[in-house]
Amino acid sequence: MSYNDNNDSVLIYEELIAIDFINDLPFDIEFIAENLSVPWAIAISDDGRLFFTERVGRVRVIENGVLLEQPVITLEPPFVSRGEGGLMGIALDPDFTQNHYIYIMHTYEDGNQMYNRVVRLINPFANSPVYSYGHRNPQGITWNSNGIMYASEHGQSAYDEINIIQPGVNYGWPLLQGDETAEGFEEPMVHSGEITWAPSGLTYIDQGFWEGNLLVATLRGEQLLVITLTEDGTGVYNITSWFVGDFGRLRDVVQAPDGSIYISTSNRDGRTIPVEGDDKIIKLTPR
């Protein structure tokens, strides 16, 4: 791996250190839910319940390690699950235990046209919900302990990116990708070069074995990327790769308050051949 010539935070991808020996991890690994239908995103409440979306239109809950049979929500028309659309993101309100607000992003149909609905967005532009732009297929957002926002996005053909998101900034698509630069555009913190990761969910780890790192679930890459950040959180020191091909396509990764890590697979989304038990949610419990 190498940094760009002016020694700022952009890392040009050259090589990953592949670490796929499950026994090397200080975690106990278990499948806490199986036979799911494209689980997309995960959110964890303060009381330890695990809320997740299935792209077909269900919000489901795992409580005390048990998947509840009945969904919390099953979306009805005009909701549609078609192609890349369906029920996708989920977030719990900071005061969820008091107000029980759940925020979701989903696709719906109106007049033979498909749209996505997003609620409670925040305005860097006057009278506009746009926060940043120039993205191509962003799929994951997380914040570190100092409030830095990171996002993952797919390139058109390779050149997948992890970006630090700032209000009002243009990240280049469709004019720029990878190392391409121009005045007025922000470069990615790191990109995959000519390798395809297809990064999806990501989370910042604030405790335990991977403390201070970003974990990134990858779809086509079929691996969990561990991105070691520089001390200030704005650059990349190293990238390693775990579980290469062990669980197939990985959709989301989150950290629970107790340090456990949950990963969802996406092997029934039509892009690969599922195996027995797919799709799964995997729990890594610190030893």
- Spatial separation of the C-alpha atoms in residues 115 and 251, rounded to whole Å: 22
What's residue 167's pLDDT? 86
pTM reported for the whole predicted model: 0.76
The share of the chain scoring above pLDDT 70, in percent, equals: 89
Residue 47: pLDDT above 60? yes
CATH class of the domain defined by 2-120+131-286:
mainly beta
Q: What is the mean pLDDT of residues 55-75?
A: 91
- Spatial separation of the C-alpha atoms in residues 254 and 23, rounded to whole Å: 21
**pLDDT band at residue 98 using 50, 70 and 90 as cut-offs:** confident
| Residue 253 vs residue 77, higher pLDDT | 253
Contacts (Cβ under 8 Å, ≥6 apart) of 66: none
User: In the numeric block, which tokens belong to residue 81?
Assistant: 């699950």
What's residue 130's pLDDT? 82
Cβ 61 vs Cβ 272: under 8 Å: no
Residue 3: pLDDT above 90? no
Q: What is the mean pLDDT of residues 27-44?
A: 94
Residue 282: pLDDT above 50? yes
What would the pLDDT profile of 120-147 be if each residue is shown by its tens digit? 433 767 667 788 999 999 999 999 999 9
**pLDDT band at residue 5 using 50, 70 and 90 as cut-offs:** very low
What would the pLDDT profile of 213-229 be if each residue is shown by its tens digit? 999 999 999 999 999 99
Q: Which of 9-23, 52-66, 197-211 shows the lowest mean pLDDT across its residues?
A: 9-23
What's residue 134's pLDDT? 93
Cβ atoms within 10 Å, residue 53? 29
What's residue 84's pLDDT? 86
Residue 50: pLDDT above 50? yes
- Spatial separation of the C-alpha atoms in residues 228 and 214, rounded to whole Å: 7
CA angle, 167 as apex, 169 and 231 as ends, to 5°?
A: 95
Q: What is the mean pLDDT of residues 46-64?
A: 94
Burial class of 170 by CB neighbour count within 10 A (0 to 12, 13 to 18, 19+): middle
Q: What is the DSSP string of 240-265?
A: EEESTTTSS-EEEEEE-TTS-EEEEE
